C-alpha cells in the first residue's frame, strides 16, 4: 500500500550539511532523522542546550532535567505555537475568528496550543473521553481492526509494518471516537501528514491541509447542530464554560487536535516497536511466550523510541537554563532526547523490555501531558499483541528500505517485514 506522503513531495528541501550540531543543528537532516541518538549523546556532553538558525531558528535542550524543567515553565515558555518550525510570516491562520486572519499564524488546537486559563478549561472538556474506562470502550473495535489488517496480508508472507499496519490503526480508532466516518481514514492520514510531516517544510502544503481539516470539522459541527448525536462533537457543542457555550471554532480546533495528535504519534510508536522487534528476535520470543510482559515492554518502546517533539515560544527576553533567550524564540521540547539521558536512565541506550524503573516523558510532562495516553497505550498494546499472536516470527525484509519521518513526530514510514 502506498504511503500518502508518496503523493506529495515528502522530502524537505536540501540544506547545507551540518558541521556543528551545537550551533547549527538541522532537525530534518536525513541521517539525524534515521538516527538522532549519537547527536543527542554528544550534545549532552558538550552543549546540552543547542541552538540553530535553521527552519526559523530554535533552541534544543537534550537532558532530562532541562526538558522537564522547561516543560513546566508556563507561561514563560508559551504553547501558543507548538509546531517545531516557525510558520511563514504571511501564512493564514486556522483561527478564522481573528478580525484580520492574516495577523495570526498560530495553530488553533486547544488545549495543546493554549496557555492557562484557556488551557485549563479546554483540557477539562476532553479528559472524560480518555479515561481508562472510556478508552476500554474502543478496545474491541481496535482488536477486530488489527485482525482484519493482518488477515489481508497473512497469506503473502509479507507486510509493510508501517504503511499496511501501524498507519491504518489510529485514524480508524480516532474516527470511532469522534463519531465520524472511518471510511475517511485514508484522507485523515493524508491531512495529518500534510500538516505535521510534509507541511513542516512546505508552508503551502501545511496551509492547504490545515484548511481541509477545519472545513471538514466545521461541516461536521453544522451537521451535529441539526442532528445531535451521542458523540464527542455533539457533547462539546452542548458544553458551557462560565455559562457561555463554547464557540464552534474552539470545538473545530479541539477536533483538529484530536485528529492530528492521535494519528501519526500512535502509528509512529507502533511502527518503531515493530521495527525493534523485527531486528531483535529474543525480545519477540519473550513477548510471544509471555504476553503479560507487553505493557512493560510498551513503556520501554515509548521511552526508547519516543516519537513526539513539541515547541514552546519564549514569552519575553530572559535567561533560561543559562541561555540568553529572546521573546519569540522557539524552544524544542525534546522529550525523545530526555528519554535517552544516561543521568536519568540506567543503560539509557539499551532497550530493556522488562525495565522496572522507567519515568519516561514520551507523553510529555506538566500541564500539557498527553491527554490521550490511555488511548495510545491501549492501541499500542492491542496492535502489538495481535501482531505477535498472528505473526510470532518475523524479520525486516530489507533493512535498507526502511524509511523514517522526523521533525515533530519521528517514526518509520516504510517497514517491509517478511514472515
Q: Which residues of this protein are in contact with ligand HEM, per CB under 6 A?
A: 71, 79, 82, 111-112, 123, 174, 257-258, 261-262, 265-266, 269, 307-308, 310, 333, 335, 362-364, 368, 370-372, 375-376
Q: How many CB atoms lie within 10 A of CB 409?
A: 25
Helix (H, G, I), strand (E, B) or coil at 417: strand
Task: Identify whether the C-beta of residue 272 lies closer than 8 Å to the C-beta of residue 306.
Answer: no
Comparing C-alpha atoms, which of 220, 275, 274, 228 is closest to residue 251?
A: 220
Smaller CB separation from ligand HEM, 234 or 334: 334
DSSP state letter for 229: -
The nearer residue to ligand HEM, 233 or 261, going by C-beta atoms, is: 261
In angstroms, what is the minimal distance from the CB of 46 to ligand HEM?
Answer: 26
In whole angstroms, the minimum distance from the beta carbon of 364 to ligand HEM comes to 3
| Contacts for 106 with CB less than 8 Å, ≥ 6 apart | 80, 81, 87, 93, 95, 113
User: CB-wise, 125 or 397, nearer to ligand HEM?
Assistant: 125
Instruction: Tell the smallest beta-carbon distance from residue 169 to ligand HEM (Å).
Output: 10
Q: In whole angstroms, how close is the CB of 227 to ligand HEM at the nearest point?
A: 24
Q: What are the residues facing 411 on neighbouring strands?
A: 405
User: What cell was used for 403?
Assistant: 524509511
For residue 63, what is its C-alpha cell?
537532558
What's the closest the beta carbon of residue 122 comes to ligand HEM, in angstroms? 8
What are phi and psi for residue 321, nearest 5 degrees?
50, 40
Element of type H or E holding 255: helix 248-279
Which C-beta is closer to ligand HEM: that of 153 or that of 379?
Answer: 379
> Is 84 or 325 the residue whose CB approaches ligand HEM more closely?
84
- C-alpha–C-alpha distance, residues 256 and 118, integer Å: 17
Residue 312 to residues 76, 127, 290, 307, 368, Cα–Cα distance (Å): 9, 22, 41, 17, 11
The HSE-up count of residue 102 (CA atoms within 13 Å, CB side) is 2
Shorter beta-carbon distance to ligand HEM: residue 201 or 266: 266
Shorter beta-carbon distance to ligand HEM: residue 112 or 337: 112
Nearer to ligand HEM, 8 or 194 (CB): 194
Instruction: Say whether 40 sits in a helix, a strand or coil.
Output: helix
Q: How far is the CB of 320 from ligand HEM (least distance, A)?
A: 16
Q: Please give the DSSP secondary-structure letter assigned to residue 180.
A: S
Neighbouring C-beta atoms of residue 70, cutoff 10 Å: 24
Using Cβ positions, the residue closest to ligand HEM within the complex turns out to be 372
> Which residues are CB-neighbours of 21 under 8 A, at least 6 positions away?
39, 42, 43, 50
Q: Which is nearer to ligand HEM, 71 or 195 (CB)?
A: 71
Cα separations in angstroms, 319 against 33, 35, 109, 325, 334: 30, 31, 29, 6, 19
> Three-state SS for 59?
strand
Closest approach, Cβ 401 to ligand HEM, in A, equals 24
User: For ligand HEM, which is the closer residue by CB, 8 or 94?
Assistant: 94
Closest CB to ligand HEM among residues 62, 79:
79
Neighbours of 356 (CB within 10 A): 7
Contact 329, 322 (CB under 8 A): no
Least Å from the CB of residue 259 to ligand HEM: 8
Amino acid at each position: 500500500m502506498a504511503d500518502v506522503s508518496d503523493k506529495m513531495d515528502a522530502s524537505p528541501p536540501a540544506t547545507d550539511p551540518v558541521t556543528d550540531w551545537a550551533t547549527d543543528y538541522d532537525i530534518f537532516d536525513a541521517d539525524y532523522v534515521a538516527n538522532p541518538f549519537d547527536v543527542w549523546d554528544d550534545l549532552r556532553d558538550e552543549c546540552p542546550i543547542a541552538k540553530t538558525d535553521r527552519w526559523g531558528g530554535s533552541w534544543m535542550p537534550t537532558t532530562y532535567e532541562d526538558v522537564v524543567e522547561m516543560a513546566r515553565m508556563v507561561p514563560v515558555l508559551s504553547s501558543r505555537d507548538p509546531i517545531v518550525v516557525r510558520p511563514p510570516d504571511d501564512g493564514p491562520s486556522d483561527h478564522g475568528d481573528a478580525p484580520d486572519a492574516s495577523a495570526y499564524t498560530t495553530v488553533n488546537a486547544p488545549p495543546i496550543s493554549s496557555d492557562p486559563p484557556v488551557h485549563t478549561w479546554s483540557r477539562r472538556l476532553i479528559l472524560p473521553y480518555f479515561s481508562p474506562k472510556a478508552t476500554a470502550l474502543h478496545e474491541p473495535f481496535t482488536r477486530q481492526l488489527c485482525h482484519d489488517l493482518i488477515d489481508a496480508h497473512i497469506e503473502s508472507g509479507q507486510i509493510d509494518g508501517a504503511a499496511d499496519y501501524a498507519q491504518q490503526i489510529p485514524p480508524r480508532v480516532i474516527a470511532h471516537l469522534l463519531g465520524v466516518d472511518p471510511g475517511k481514514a485514508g484522507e485523515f492520514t493524508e491531512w495529518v501528514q500534510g500538516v505535521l510531516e510534509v507541511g513542516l517544510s512546505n508552508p503551502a502544503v501545511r496551509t492547504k491541509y490545515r484548511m481541509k481539516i477545519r472545513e471538514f470539522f466545521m461541516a461536521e459541527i453544522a451537521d451535529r447542530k441539526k442532528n445531535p448525536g451521542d458523540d464527542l462533537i455533539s457533547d462539546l457543542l452542548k458544553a458551557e464554560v462560565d455559562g457561555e457555550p463554547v464557540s464552534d471554532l474552539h470545538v473545530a480546533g479541539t477536533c483538529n487536535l484530536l485528529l492530528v495528535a492521535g494519528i501519526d504519534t500512535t502509528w509512529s510508536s507502533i511502527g518503531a516497536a515493530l521495527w525493534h522487534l523485527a531486528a531483535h528476535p529474543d525480545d519477540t520470543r519473550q513477548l510471544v511466550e509471555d504476553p503479560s510482559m507487553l505493557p512493560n515492554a510498551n513503556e520501554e518502546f515509548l521511552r526508547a523510541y519516543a516519537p513526539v517533539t513539541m515547541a514552546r515560544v519564549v514569552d519575553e527576553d530572559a535567561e533560561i537554563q543559562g541561555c540568553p533567550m529572546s521573546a519569540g524564540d522557539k524552544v524544542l521540547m525534546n522529550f525523545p532526547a530526555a528519554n535517552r539521558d544516561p543521568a536519568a536512565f540506567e543503560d539509557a541506550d539499551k532497550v530493556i523490555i522488562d525495565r522496572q524503573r522507567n519515568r519516561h516523558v514520551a507523553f510529555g510532562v506538566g500541564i500539557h501531558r498527553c491527554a490521550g495516553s490511555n488511548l495510545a497505550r491501549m492501541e499500542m498494546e492491542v496492535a502489538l499483541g495481535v501482531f505477535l499472536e498472528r505473526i510470532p516470527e518475523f524479520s525486516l525484509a530489507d533493512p535498507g528500505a526502511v524509511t523514517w519521518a522526523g521533525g515533530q513526530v519521528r517514526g518509520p514510514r516504510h517497514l517491509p517485514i517478511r514472515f
